[in-house]
Amino acid sequence: MDGRPVDPESAWSGYAGATRADPSPGAVKRPRSVVVRVIYNRRLRELRRDVMSAKPISLTRFLIQEQHAGHINADLRLLIEVVARACKTISTAVGKGALGGVLGDAGTGNVQGEAQKKLDVLSNEILLEANEWGGHLAGLASEEMEHAHPIPNAYPKGNYLLLFDPLDGSSNIDVNVAVGTIFSVLQCPDGVIEPTDEHFLQPGVAQVCAGYTIYGPSTLLVLTIGRGTHGFTLDREQGSFMLTRRDIRIPADTQEFAINMSNQRHWHAPMQRYVSDLLEGKQGVRGKDFNMRWVASMVADVHRILTRGGIFIYPADRKDLSKPGRLRLMYEANPMAFIVEQAGGAATTGRSRLMDVVPTGLHQRVPVFLGSRHEVETATRYHLEHDSLPA
């Protein structure tokens, strides 16, 4: 109360549904002090509601609410919290840059023969260390490790499998451009205590959770547990991820594409036709001008699409016929496909739904077409039309 005198008329007007002109004849007239208290409490409740709705909720609170609503169990909630905590540590290391002594090559190569950066190795260690002893996992698999890593017997075990690309966009680390962590969570098959590679080979539709963290001007976590896609911003002072975009939606149409054009000469015929139609702009069959953006960190390119729409393509090409695409199915394409579909977008291999691909290897590659639904459908149609032509 602010101590100001209360007009009895206006006090009456706030009383339990009665109106000034027409206090209901049967209503019991309460003492003025009671009426004032009713108004005071009601205003307090309104004020509290306004303050609460203006303040973003934390990831912890969001996950607890999802658990109370029966959408996730406590183990999955805690697993996501552990991954998020590890990502905060990676964010700090990335943010220190040269001051942390973490830039440059590690002098080693990963299982795919790619040179590892120091931050690749460090991020992998951070995620491994944080998740090993949490008690929610049966095993882990990473871009940086040839085989799956079962949880050591010294630690309690859980029922989930975690796959991750610890630091996506490695070529951008040393040039201070956004990089990120991508992760996917599967259920460990019943009765399996020590999961090996084969137990991770489940199609994308089996994912129970997927997410990525992007270490850019701000650090963001984008997450789906199969009930929409939600974005959280790291409050660096508080050390908490705060929900800043609930239920992200990707526009169905777009005029922006993301592709590494330097590979054009290696593309197959339907890709050549699709991109050349985009480039013809308003005068061509598509009847509109397209813009192009390419960060070369999948997390950043996908995040732009979640922000304003677009199509991201990394097709198969003729550069190296032993590689059916550039991106890895299990810890890059599948989690991104899950996130994009949950935001109303689409994700295909250029021919069929990405999350239906039945995996055959932990590090297998796959062509990726994802983003604004209508545009992904168009690009996919170009491929299917090409396939139906007589040989």
Q: Minimum CB separation from ligand F6P for residue 384, in Å?
A: 24
When the beta carbons of 262 and 283 are compared against ligand F6P, the nearer one is 262
354 binds ligand F6P (CB under 6 A): no
When the beta carbons of 108 and 171 are compared against ligand F6P, the nearer one is 171
Q: Which residues contact 360 (CB under 8 A, 6 or more apart)?
A: 201
Q: Minimum CB separation from ligand F6P for residue 326, in Å?
A: 6
Single out the segment in contact with ligand F6P by CB under 6 A; choices: 63-71, 132-140, 214-222, 290-298. 290-298
Q: Minimum CB separation from ligand F6P for residue 169, in Å?
A: 4
Q: Minimum CB separation from ligand F6P for residue 225, in Å?
A: 24
Position among 214, 271, 298, 357 found at the interface with ligand F6P (CB under 6 A): 298
When the beta carbons of 150 and 315 are compared against ligand F6P, the nearer one is 315
Rounded Cα distance between 18 and 30, Å, is 12
When the beta carbons of 66 and 317 are compared against ligand F6P, the nearer one is 317
CB-based burial label for 39 (10 Å; 0-12, 13-18, 19+): middle
How remote is the C-alpha of 24 from its chain's centroid?
A: 55
**Residue pointed to by tokens 């639904």:** 373
Instruction: Specify the DSSP class assigned to residue 159.
Output: S
Helix (H), strand (E) counts: the chain:
10, 17
Position among 189, 296, 378, 386 found at the interface with ligand F6P (CB under 6 A): 296
| Span 141-170, contacts to ligand F6P by CB under 6 A | 168-170
Rounded Cα distance between 295 and 310, Å, is 13
260 binds ligand F6P (CB under 6 A): yes
Q: Minimum CB separation from ligand F6P for residue 325, in Å?
A: 11
Single out the segment in contact with ligand F6P by CB under 6 A; choices: 70-78, 125-133, 294-302, 376-384. 294-302
When the beta carbons of 19 and 171 are compared against ligand F6P, the nearer one is 171
Single out the segment in contact with ligand F6P by CB under 6 A; choices: 8-16, 245-253, 272-280, 295-303. 295-303
Contact, 166 vs 127, CB < 8 A? Answer: yes
**Structure-token pair, residue 212:** 């990525």
When the beta carbons of 209 and 368 are compared against ligand F6P, the nearer one is 368
Q: How many CB atoms lie within 10 A of CB 246?
A: 13
Q: Minimum CB separation from ligand F6P for residue 103, in Å?
A: 17
Q: Which residues contact 21 (CB under 8 A, 6 or more apart)?
A: none
Site string for ligand F6P, 314-343 (x = CB under 6 A): ------------x-----------------
Q: How many CB atoms lie within 10 A of CB 340?
A: 28
Contact, 308 vs 255, CB < 8 A? Answer: no
Helix (H, G, I), strand (E, B) or coil at 46: helix
Residue 325: half-sphere exposure toward Cβ, Cα within 13 Å = 20
Q: Minimum CB separation from ligand F6P for residue 200, in Å?
A: 19
When the beta carbons of 168 and 375 are compared against ligand F6P, the nearer one is 168
Q: Minimum CB separation from ligand F6P for residue 295, in Å?
A: 8
Q: Minimum CB separation from ligand F6P for residue 170, in Å?
A: 6
When the beta carbons of 59 and 340 are compared against ligand F6P, the nearer one is 340
DSSP 341-360: HHTT-EEESSSSBGGG----
Q: What is the CA radius of gyration of the chain?
A: 26
Instruction: Specify the DSSP class assigned to residue 264.
Output: G
Instruction: Specify the DSSP class assigned to residue 152.
Output: P
CA neighbor of 300 nearest in space, from 219, 237, 390, 183: 219
Position among 297, 342, 348, 372 found at the interface with ligand F6P (CB under 6 A): 297
Size of the site for ligand F6P (CB under 6 A): 9
Q: Give the footprint of ligand F6P on this chain (CB under 6 A).
A: 168-171, 260, 296-298, 326
